[in-house]
């Protein structure tokens, strides 16, 4: 068997898993919604601000008049935003022990301990590293 196949497979798997691990950037998720549903928002939801409850409700109420593109995009965009938010709030809990051990604090948003964990090169647990990766902090 050619030795190139296993190497290529490893490269592919690594590329795939690292690409799928990080949640989508807010910029991209919001961009998908703004581009995919611009017309529908203007027509059906004029005056409704970008809001995960009200704008989503409005699009859902008008589901029948949405283009197939918008119908897919708004669900995908709000889902991606929600996933990144969840990934970010998970960091504090998952990395709590690491933060106490390495940085002497809890890695809450705005806290020094999160910055400390992010700059730590050694001693961060695999779970914490994964959580940081999913949250897109690196």
Partner 1 sequence: MRLGKQGRHGMGLFIVLLIGALAPLSSAQAQASAPPEDWVSKLAGLDTAPDLELAALRQQALERVKSRADGVPLQRPPVATQLLKLPRLAVEIKFDEDSSVVRPESYRTLGRIADTLYNPALLPYKFLIVGHTVATGRRESNLTLSQKRADAIRGALVTTFKISPKRLQGIGLGEEQLLDAAHPTAPINQQVEVATVGKAP
Closest CB to partner 1 among residues 4, 126: 4
Query: Residue 17 and residue 12: Cα distance in Å, rounded?
Result: 8
| Shortest distance (Å) from residue 107 CB to partner 1 | 10
* Binding residues among 64-103 for partner 1 as defined by CB under 8 A: 81, 85, 88-89
* Binding residues among 12-51 for partner 1 as defined by CB under 8 A: 12, 15-16, 19, 24-31, 33-35, 37-38, 41-42, 46-51
Strand, coil or helix: 95: coil
DSSP 3: T
Asked if 122 interacts with partner 1 (CB under 8 A), we say: no
Written as six digits, the tokens of 15 are: 């590329």
Do the Cβ atoms of 80 and 71 come closer than 8 Å?
no
């Amino acid at each position: 068997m050619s030795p190139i196949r296993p190497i290529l497979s490893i490269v592919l798997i690594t590329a795939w898993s690292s690409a799928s691990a990080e949640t989508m950037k807010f910029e991209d998720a919001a961009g998908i919604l703004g581009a995919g549903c611009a017309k529908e928002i203007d027509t059906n939801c004029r005056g409704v601000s970008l809001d995960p409850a009200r704008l989503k409700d409005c699009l859902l109420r008008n589901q029948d008049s949405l283009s197939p593109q918008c119908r897919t995009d708004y669900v995908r965009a709000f889902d991606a935003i929600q996933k990144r938010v969840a990934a970010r709030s998970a960091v504090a809990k998952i990395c709590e022990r690491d933060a106490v051990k390495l940085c002497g604090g809890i890695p809450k948003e705005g806290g020094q301990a999160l910055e400390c964990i992010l700059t730590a090169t050694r001693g961060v647990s695999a779970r914490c590293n994964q959580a940081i990766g999913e949250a897109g902090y690196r």
